[in-house]
Structures are given as structure tokens and as C-alpha cells.
Amino acid sequence: MSQSKNKEPSSIKGTRDILPPESRKWQKAERFLQRIFESYGYKEIRTPVFESTELFEKGTGETSDVVIKEMYTFADKGGRSLTLRPEYTPSIVRSIIENRLYLKPDLMRFYFIGPMFRYDKPQKGRYRQFHQADIEVFGEKDPEVDAEIVEMAYTLLKKLGVKNIKILINSVGCRKCRPEYHKKLKTEAEKQRARLCEDCRRKIDTNPLRIFDCKKDTCRNAALGFPKITDFLCAECQSHFEKFRSLLDFYGLKYSVDPQLVRGLDYYTKTTFEITSSKLGAQDAVLGGGRYDEMMKDFGGPDICGIGFAMGMERLLSVMPDIDEPEKFLYIVHIGEEAKKVSMKLAQYFRENGVECVLEYKDRKLKKQMSRADKLKAAWSLVVGEEEIEKNKYQLKDMRTGDQKEVTKEEALKRMIG
């Protein structure tokens, strides 16, 4: 243990515990997301939390801020360079190639919900361990898929009660049209070099597109005058973008085109999008994603296109209304040693039949146990004493209404789940 002897242990900066009752809200959101994703044909893939560092350098991109500044990279005892995943897409692509999933007849639509790690500056909405709900589609190149994904994202946010949602879209072109844009952007950025921060000056040479990721006001203002990628799209990207937009109209979704929406990762081609909520404050993106038609091929796999999005769970939870679900459990009150044993059997019976059941083993007086049931906000209490055991009937109390009735265990079960 690295903690000194008398110092209380504390969590690592940028990480946090998810405690009850907040954890209930997480479970509810996770279950809801799983249901929605599965209703659109997605299946879950779980991959390891760490991968080879090279996977992210290659996938997320060597010029992205995530790779340059934010990766949790370490050497294991065998001297391998490993990285805690900062995002999910490269892991899924690796898994598809390694497991030859593209040879199966199944749809290649996958989802995942779990932790990601980035050495980011901790602040509201930005953590070092955070969670993403991620979906990815492979082998479907039509703009209908791009629109369906945005429609799904919008629908689920609406259904979860998230307010003040905005959809932002863009096209970042492809390997045919982007080089020309890069050249032009580099020339224009060079002219503004003096106004840019040191980081962005470096980006002029490495990847000028990444200047749009900078959050500094001076850089953002300078970038306002830069050429727009949407003016440089080739015929194929232009047509894809137009169809995508018309399909969003078809779904009745309002959106804005933001030509600076290049997103922080290097791999995007054609469509990019983000959904924001003004309720989030400065870090207002709930989710973001786009197409990455070249990644699988670049990884040495087949030429299969991909598209997906990642949603920040912490951000989603912070704008999702609280759930006010009352507790549903039964608290068994027992008096005496024999009653404790009978209660343990009863608890087994109720739990087997789907009733949440709490039994505390410390010897306490009846009144004290009833007040514990009250404090813990039990929905029901069941009193088990000598007399009850003899009659095989127990006092069941509805803790909300105060109604009380003598019942057998079968009758109690019926009342609670009926």
C-alpha cells in the first residue's frame, strides 16, 4: 500500500465513486440504453480495458490530443507498452479483425458501455476515468445509416428526458478531397501563426485540422476565418452529405451544419456529428461520432467501412432528470433465535420469488427493528415471533399506508408482487 500509515485513503484525482442512490440511476440508464441499442439491431461486444499502445496510436491517431497528451500508458512486467483505453473504436476494430467477425452472416452492429481513461485536466464534465456508451456499425456505407444513428441518439436522449438538445453535423471529406483542403488550411493557418497558441503552431505542421479542437479563444477566433471543409468536398462526399442532411429532414430532426466540427480524433471520414445540451455548461457535448471508412483497412483488415458514436455517461446522467422510484424491498423483523432462523428461510423464499428482502442479524427489540425498516424506507415489513411461527402466519405491514394484515407466506408474496 502506498498510503502512509495514518492517512485516510483517497480516490485518484479525476476519478470518482458512484454511490447509491446515484448508482440506481446509472443502472436504469444503462438498462434503457441496452434496450434501445438492441431494438436497432446492435449486440454487445466487451473487450479488455487495456490494449497495446500501438493500437491507439494507429487508430485514434498520432496527431490527436488524446494520443499526444492524454493516454494512460505504462510498461508491464514483460516490458510491453500498454494503454488503458481512451476510447473504444480501435478496440472494436481490432476485435472484429482478430475474431474474423466479418466472415459471419450477422449484422456488424455493436454496442458497449464501460469506463475509458484519459489524462485530461479534471473539471466539471471532464474526468480521468469516465464512462462511455458506444455504438459502432460496420459494412454499411449508405447515408441512411448515418441518419438512423443520429435519429437513435436523439430519440434516446429525448426519451431519457434530456432537455435543450442540439444536433451539429459536418462532413470532413475523404482521402481524395481532404489533401487539397489541408493544403489550403495550412496556408491560411500559417498566415495566422502569430495569433495561435504554441500547441496550434505545432499543429500547422503536423495536422492543421486539429487547430479546430483548440478551446482557447484566440485560436477559436483565428479559426473562424479559415476555409471551410464543406467547400472542398469531392462529388462522392458532397452527395453523401446532401443525402444525410435530407434524411435528417425526413426524420423531422433539426440540425446545424458546423464546418469546424472535425472532432478530436484523426480517423473520421465524411460524416461527423455531435449532440449538445446547453444544460451541461462549458463541456456541452453529450455525444459525438462519425464515419471512419478507412480504419479497418489501415489496421490490415478487410476494406470495411465503419460509423459510430460515443456518449459520455457522466454527462448524460448529469442532464437526465432524477428518478424518484420508491424502494421496493421487504424488511423482516424477527424476535428471538428461532424466529431469526425462520426469517432466514422466509427471506430465501421471498427472494427466490422475486421480492427484494432485507434481514439484519443483530439482536434488536421489535420497536427498534420497526424503526430501522422505516429509516431504510422499506416498502413492507413482516414480523416473525414465537406466536407467528406457531400459527404459520405473520404480520405484514405496508409501510407507506400503514395497513397491516396477518397472512401466510404465500399470501404475503401475493400481496407484495400482486
Residues that bind ligand AMP (CB under 6 A): 87, 118, 120, 125-127, 130, 132, 263-264, 285-288, 310, 312, 314-315
Q: 25 or 372, CB closer to ligand AMP?
A: 25
CA 80 to chain centre: 29
The nearer residue to ligand AMP, 143 or 308, going by C-beta atoms, is 308
Least Cβ distance, residue 168 to ligand AMP (angstroms) = 11
Query: Smallest gap, in angstroms, from Cβ of residue 391 to ligand AMP?
Result: 57
The half-sphere exposure of 64 on its side-chain side, counting CA atoms within 13 A, is 20
Minimum CB distance to ligand AMP, residue 199 (Å):
17
Nearer to ligand AMP, 120 or 327 (CB): 120
- State the nearest-atom distance from the C-beta of 264 to ligand AMP, in Å: 5
- The nearest distance, CB 86 to ligand AMP, in angstroms, is 8
Provide, rounded to whole angstroms, the least separation between the CB of residue 339 and ligand AMP.
50
Q: What are the distances in angstroms from CA 152 to CA 155, 339, 398? A: 5, 53, 41
List Cβ neighbours of 249 (8 Å cut-off, separation of 6 or more): none
Residue nearer to ligand AMP on the CB measure, 50 or 273: 273
In contact, 310 and 132? CB cutoff 8 Å: yes
CA 305 to CA 232: how far, in whole Å? 22
DSSP string spanning 271-317?
EEEEEEEGGGTTS-EEEEEEE-TTHHHHTTS-S--EEEEEEEHHHHH
Residue 34 main-chain phi, psi, to 5 deg = -55, -45
Nearest residue to the partner ligand AMP, using Cβ: 312
Of 68 and 407, which CB lies nearer to ligand AMP in the complex structure? 68
Please identify, using beta-carbon distances, which residue of 53 and 272 lies nearer to ligand AMP: 272
* 3-state DSSP assignment of residue 79: coil
Sheet harboring 394-398: ordered strands across?
357-358, 330-334, 380-384, 394-398, 404-407
